[in-house]
Chains A and B, each alone.
Chain A
Amino acid sequence: MTVAQVRVERLTKHFDGMVAVASLDLEVADGEFLVLLGPSGCGKTTTLRCIAGLETPTSGEVWIGSRRVTHLRAADRDIAFVFQFYALYPHLTVYDNIAFPLRATGLAREEIHRRVLAVAELLRIPHLLKFRPAQLSGGEQQRVALGRAIVRRPQAFLMDEPLTNVDASFRVDLRVELKHLQQELGTTTIYVTHDQTEAMSLGHRIAVMRSGVLQQVGTPLEVYRSPKTLFVASFIGSPPMNLIPVDLEDHLLRGQDLQVPCPPTLPMGAPRHLVLGVRPEDVSFVDSQDAHAYGTILTREPLGDETVYAVAVGDQVVRVVTEPHVRWEPGTNAALAFSLERLHLYDPVTGALVL
């Protein structure tokens, strides 16, 4: 087994003067499942297409394994690409679709047949082999597309929102299957999505992008627990992290109806205006003498395993996640406490993490 790490060095891509990807450095280890996450237009798909050879980078290099592939055509990069819209060949049967990449390699007929059947078996689609793509459901089509990708045993899988167009009811199943498949095959995978749940559940590591710039790379928990920028903090997590503007005064962080002791580790020279970030599960209802903030409860959303409250604190809305049995009535006053060891502070101007 060859070492199939994928490396991107200072990758930059312009479209008509617009910067789609700005000097991106990224390294994906052999066998790793890396998710590129970001809102639409953040450059994640462009990055993937540059790695695949479907776009030519304006500058920068792409390495797959030990080969520099920046100037190789897509066909010579030994990768497989899975598209959001499946892109199965409509005039070919499912069998021929899966066999298609093998036929480019000049394998013997019997070997092609054997491998197509094995892949169909693996994806549980042998009964679909004689159909044409138009006769299949979205989920089935994307399975066939996965089959077409894995049949050649490429060095890397590149997947561009493969589950986005699959019906919601099958999406979760297919996600689990995809993760299992990647574990079984151990093939380096780069997966693009705008869906943070998908990213968290699939990736060994997540790379968050915004406006062509890489914000943070880390395991799902790292990215969730310690978001490095204001953007990552606001993008990851549902309900999202509470981000409250505060002022630093006399070793206290003050906001409207809010006062938190300043963490002793706050570096010298920190800006006076800050954004306080705290996850909804790190906020709790307390007696007023222990409170960091006071507010009025706006809504209660009992979700079964937990309950989400929205609390008006000054002109901000703070979300609180509690155990399901905690019951507070909307309209009543509440006192809130923050887990001080789980606070994040960001510079509101640069978006950078201060603490």
Chain B
Amino acid sequence: MNGTLRLRIAALLWGLALAAVLVFFLFPLYWMLVTALKPRAEVTLLPPSLLPYVQFRPTLENFAAVLTERPQPILGGWVALSPFPAALLNSVLIGGTATVASVLLGTFAAYAFSRFHTRGAGDLLFFILSTRMLPPIVVVIPLFLMFTELGLRNSFWGLTTLYTTAGLPFVVWMMKGFFDEIAREYEEAAMTDGYSRLQAIWRVLLPEALPAMLATAVFVLIFAWNEFVFAQLLNPDRYSTAPIFLYSVIGYGRVEWARMAATSVMFLVPVVAFTILVRRHLLRGVTFGAVRR
């Protein structure tokens, strides 16, 4: 009796603690969503209003404004929309391509580091990681000069290559750790079963590595998606990404909080959608319980 009561109290306290943590992490998102739905005058009220329908009438005018202000003709002049949809598309294409490229290249590099005895492998791995040790602002000037020289500014491939390179160290390190955990006997079994090494990797290793690759991809995508400094300096005019547009929404003289919030909500959607899509794989975990070490 006493014991069950104590258990219940413990469960209740645990639940409360979880709820508190959840509120702490989700409140900024909620505030952003609520702000996006507020009429302009409502935004800067103190204390802030947080409950739509109760404290204010929600409106979609901010979303409409973000999508239609400063219109530019698209689809051969059929419609005119703000630069935001195009910027979002650029982000999807550049971020997506960079993510796929760095996860693929990085996975194979990681495989080589994990499986082959390479002279100076440790130094190489450190070197790969060290490319990420400098803050972007330090390398942006040489990069700016390089990109100008090579005609890569305001181009799709310039920024995509840069994001691929930036994502690679993370992928190599993550996937190497993962491959180190997978017994090499799996590929060896496939190789003695009559397959080449590449076929063995493709048919045996990659199905098992998929959850790790997707988890890694989420992080690489989030980096490329949110990156601002390089995008602003290297692609300000063409192929500019969503964060650059977000920056332009801030406005002159006053800060357009509601529109920024509306832009941010739309900006979040693709990454959240991707994460939800791969969530099943992320949770599936590693099924390599079949090998006892």
Contact = CB atoms under 8 A, between A and B. Distances in A.
7 contacts: A85-B185, A87-B183, A87-B291, A90-B291, A91-B287, A105-B194, A152-B194
B16 interface: no
Contacts of A86: 290-291
Nearest to A87: B185
A296 B195 CA distance: 63
B289 A83 contact: no
B194 A101 contact: yes
B291 A74 contact: no
Interface in A155-191: 158, 165
A52 B192 contact: yes
Nearest to B287: A90
A89 interface: yes
Given A85-B185, A85-B291, A91 B195 contact: no
B192 to A, nearest CB: 4
A133 B191 CA distance: 19
A90 B186 CA distance: 9
Central interface residue in A91, A100, A132, by most chain B CB within 10 Å = A91
Given A83-B188, A87-B183, A101 B291 contact: no
B292 A165 contact: yes
Given A134-B289, A134-B290, A141-B290, A89 B194 contact: no
Given A89-B189, A91-B207, A134-B290, 15 more contacts: A53-B192, A54-B191, A73-B196, A74-B188, A74-B191, A75-B194, A80-B192, A85-B183, A85-B185, A86-B290, A87-B291, A90-B287, A90-B291, A148-B189, A152-B193
Contacts of B291: 85-87, 90
B213 to A, nearest CB: 14
Interface of A: 52-54, 73-75, 77, 79-81, 83, 85-91, 100-101, 104-105, 132-134, 138, 141, 148, 152, 158, 165
Contacts of B287: 90-91, 134
Contacts of A52: 188, 192
Contacts of A54: 188, 191-192
Contact of A100 (B183, B190, B292): B190
Contacts of A132: 290
A85 B292 contact: yes
Contacts of B194: 75, 101, 104-105, 152
Contacts of A105: 194
A158 B191 CA distance: 13
Contacts of B280: none
Q: Considering the complex of A and B, which 10 residue pairs feature the smallest CB-CB distances, nearest first?
A: A104-B194, A87-B185, A101-B193, A81-B192, A133-B290, A87-B189, A74-B191, A90-B290, A91-B207, A83-B185
Interface in B243-293: 287-293
Given A74-B188, A81-B188, A104 B290 contact: no
Contacts of A134: 287, 289-290
B204 A89 contact: yes
B208 A90 contact: yes
Contacts of B190: 89, 100
Contacts of B195: 75, 104
A90 B183 CA distance: 12
Nearest to B206: A91
Given A90-B287, A91-B287, A134-B287, A85 B193 contact: no
B105 to A, nearest CB: 24
Interface of B: 183, 185-186, 188-197, 199, 204, 207-208, 287-293
A73 B199 CA distance: 13
Contact of B192 (A75, A90, A133, A138): A75
B188 A87 contact: yes
Contacts of B186: 87, 89
B53 to A, nearest CB: 50
Nearest to A76: B194
Given A81-B188, A85-B293, A90 B193 contact: no
Contacts of B185: 83, 85, 87
Contact of B193 (A104, A141, A165): A104
Contacts of A73: 191, 196-197
A86 B291 CA distance: 7
A136 to B, nearest CB: 8
Contacts of A104: 193-195, 199
A88 B192 contact: no
A110 to B, nearest CB: 20
Contacts of B289: 90, 134
Contact of A148 (B188, B193, B288): B193
A77 B195 CA distance: 11
Contacts of A81: 188-189, 192
Nearest to B289: A134
A79 B208 contact: no
A141 B291 CA distance: 10
A80 B193 contact: yes
A100 B193 contact: yes
Given A101-B194, A104-B194, A90 B188 contact: no
Nearest to A101: B193
A75 B192 CA distance: 5
Contacts of A77: 192
A147 to B, nearest CB: 12
Nearest to A77: B192
Contacts of A100: 190, 193
A152 B192 CA distance: 11
Contacts of A158: 192
Nearest to A15: B117
Given A85-B185, A87-B185, A74 B290 contact: no
